[in-house]
Structures are given as C-alpha cells and as structure tokens.
Amino acid sequence: MKQTIFITGVGKRIGYALAKDFLAKGMHVIGTFRTHYPAIDELAELGADLYQCDLCIPAEIDDMLVRINATHDELHSIIHNASDWHNDKTKPGMSAADIMNRMMNIHVSAPYQINLALADKLIASANEQIGAVNIIHITDYVAEKGSKKHIAYAASKAAMHNLTLSFASKLAPMVKVNSIAPAMILFNEGDDEAYKVKALAKAILPKEAGNPEIIELVDYLTSSQYVTGRSFAVDGGRHLA
C-alpha cells in the first residue's frame, strides 16, 4: 500500500535521508523546512509535498496543517525530525529564556500541536488495524543523560520523549508512538580531526553510524505491530563508555 509520511525538517541530514528513502520506496512524502537548501528542490522534483514553516510560530503551523488536511486524505506516519541545537551561552539579542523557549517550541510545542491536529487523520488511516500507523519523535541520547553545556536542548528533548509516553497512551491501539534517541550519527562538514577523535571516543562502538542506522530503525518501527511508548537509543553504547 502506498503510504503517506509526514516528516518535519527535511532540508538536510536525517530528515533529507528519510524523505529520499521513502520517496524511493514509492511513498507519498509531506515535508517541512525552515531554510531553503538545494535538497528542497531535489525533493520537490522527486514528488514531495513541501511546506516552508517556522516551527516556532504556531500560526504558521496552523496554516500548514489546514493545507495538509485539505490536500491529503490519508496519513500513515508522522516523524518529528526538525531540531535546533543551542548551547546555553546567550548571544546578542537572545536571553537564556529565549534559548529555552526556542528549544521547547521546536522540540515540544510544535510536535504537540501537530500530533493533536493530525491524530484523527492517523486513526482514520489505520482502518481499525491495531498499530497500523505511527508517530516517531527523534529525540537525543542526552534526553536521559543531561548536558552541562546544552541544558535547554537536553531538557526539551527529554520533554519530547515524554510526549511519546502520553501520545502512545492517548492514541492506542491504532497509533503506535515511539522515540529514537541518537547520539553522533553524522559529522558536519568542517568538523576537524581532533573533534572527530574526541566524539568517537565517547562510544564503545567508535564509528560514524550514518543515516542507514536511523532509516532501518524507522522501517522497523513503522512495520512493527507490537511496539509503542518506547525509546530506542542509537548511540554506540555511550552509556557504557
């Protein structure tokens, strides 16, 4: 069956890789982006339905949701991938409260708003089949561990996983809701060798995991019929290092 998948933050990295993978499998992909990267044009050419939306602005989210509801009759999965990453050092024009609000808006308020608005469409698309449709929150391994330098970020990702618990209970049995908590999946362009060595040393599997690790886990979660309300760590065993 050709499914419809909604992914937030498809402009780069994991979101882009997931969108391309689902499109290659013949799925309908709905994607959001804040910044227009070249990848957005590529995904559009492949058939993705794309919406530029600032997830810190509820009115923009509402407008997007109205258009999605009007355009798509079915929805089989929501993947909350959109993310921002701030340390706790204030910047010009940005207070500590601003940093916390931004982290909570992107990682908690926006997924909460989207899940509530699209829940009925997910349930209807399940066609009374238990566990047929999905919500997946991409959190972070620091949601459980905490962070000395990224306290607001870590707290917001922990709250995001708490959404998983609440929505798993609320939307059962038709909708499964799970979290994926990655650590270092891909290095960024410009990361120097010293940083890479330090980052890899934090795990007992010292390697760059790559997008396939997340894609394969998403495939498992969307095809499973009996897993909900769980968090899946993809962190190279950092808790044992």
User: Cα separation of 155 and 171, whole Å?
Assistant: 24
The residue among 38, 6, 1, 3 whose CA lies nearest residue 135 is 6
Annotated catalytic sites, by residue? Answer: 153
Strands (E), 34-98: 49-52, 77-80
Angle at 43 between CA 52 and CA 64, to 5 degrees: 25
CA distance 71 to 63: 13
